[in-house]
Amino acid sequence: MDIEYLSYLKGNKTEFDAKMDTIAEKLGIDKNWLYAVMWCESRMNPKARNSTTAATGLIQFMRSEEHTSEL
């Protein structure tokens, strides 16, 4: 199944996609794989929050324990 990931974004889709090109190139990965991760983790919602952990955002990042105490 092909998903048109950009259709789920709000805001400047062209700018977002260009940034994804840059990030994917720096990481040496396929941009579509990164979009797929975002879709699976948050359904492309940058304000997504996991109900059972502290994970947030498009890729559901979590703060590391060593940095949490500094906040």
Q: What is the pLDDT of residues 34-53, one digit of tens each?
A: 999 999 999 999 999 999 99
57: exposed, middle or buried (Cβ count in 10 Å: 0-12, 13-18, 19+): middle
The two three-digit tokens of residue 56, written as one number = 């947030």
Q: Which pLDDT score, from 0 to 100, does residue 71 have? A: 45
| CA separation for the pair 10, 24 (Å, rounded) | 20
Q: Which pLDDT score, from 0 to 100, does residue 24 have? A: 95
Q: pLDDT tens for the chain, 71 residues: list them.
A: 456 888 888 888 999 999 999 999 999 999 999 999 999 999 999 999 999 998 999 999 888 764 554 44
| CA separation for the pair 23, 6 (Å, rounded) | 16
Tell me if residue 14 falls in helix, strand or coil: helix
| CA separation for the pair 53, 60 (Å, rounded) | 10
